[in-house]
Amino acid sequence: MGRFISKIVIALIFMLVLTGCGQKTDTLEILFFTEITEDTGDSLVNNLEQIYPESALKFKSEFYASVYERLIAEIASHNGDILIVESNLLTPGSFDSEGLIPFELTDERKKDIPKEYFLKNEKTKKDTIYALPIDENSDLLGKLNINLNSELVALVPIYSEHQDLAVQMVMEALTAR
């Protein structure tokens, strides 16, 4: 009898874990792999709430040192809806067209994007933008008075649960217009 109950308990725990993993969250998470420190997190979230007051989502920011191994670990764990990274962290392991959402820009705006942020889209066979440079004077970062010592880029991973808003935020709030 005890063995039967333990099997039922294990089955229930397994079902709870699977159910929890399949739910969409109501939080849009931005992960920073930069010199920007965590003390700007509250200001960043407040700025996002002011820029997107109509959003039903909560905003959350996490700050990490600019370490390649940590970036790969977070990508492998499917963490983050937007990844803000120093451009030197873009390698084939972190910058891959199959793992990122492309940015659709006008031809005029594409001219301002460095070629190293384009990758060949495997489906269309066209060069497509998968990383956008971050402007320190953007709507989001400009109010925080952050001076960047290295170029930052934004990526939206394919596993993001809020892809549309993440792409919109990168194109509107984080980059120059």
Residue 66 is assigned to a structural domain of this protein? yes
Q: What is the mean pLDDT of residues 82-94?
A: 91
Q: Which of 78, 100, 80, 75 is nearest to 27 (CA)?
A: 80
Residue 5 is assigned to a structural domain of this protein? no
Residue 163 is assigned to a structural domain of this protein? yes
Containing structural domain, residue 96: 26-174
**pLDDT tens per residue across span 33-60:** 988 877 787 888 888 888 888 888 899 9
Instruction: Give me the sheet containing 82-86, strands edge to edge.
Output: 58-64, 27-33, 82-86, 152-155, 132-133
Residue 49 is assigned to a structural domain of this protein? yes
Calpha distance 166→84 (Å, rounded): 12
Number of independent structural domains in the chain: 1
The domain that holds 41 is classified in CATH as: 3.40.190.10
Residue 97 is assigned to a structural domain of this protein? yes
Q: Residues, the chain, total?
A: 177
Place of tokens 């492309």: 102
Residue 168 is assigned to a structural domain of this protein? yes
Range from 19-23, 41-45, 62-66, 156-160 carrying the lowest mean pLDDT:
19-23
Place of tokens 């990490």: 64
| Cα 77-78-79 angle, rounded to 5 deg | 90
The alpha-carbon radius of gyration of the chain (Å, integer) is 19
Residue 18 is assigned to a structural domain of this protein? no
Q: Using CB atoms within 10 A of its CB, is residue 157 exposed (0-12), middle (13-18) or buried (19+)? A: buried
Q: Using CB atoms within 10 A of its CB, is residue 170 exposed (0-12), middle (13-18) or buried (19+)? A: buried
Largest Cα separation within the chain, whole Å, is 72
Band of residue 134 on the pLDDT scale cut at 50, 70, 90 = confident
Beta strand residue intervals within 1-92, DSSP E: 27-33, 58-64, 82-86
Residue 57 is assigned to a structural domain of this protein? yes
| Cα 104-160-168 angle, rounded to 5 deg | 35
How many CA atoms lie within 13 Å of 112's alpha carbon, on the beta-carbon side? 11
Look up the pTM and report it. 0.81
Q: Residue 133: is its pLDDT beyond 70? A: yes
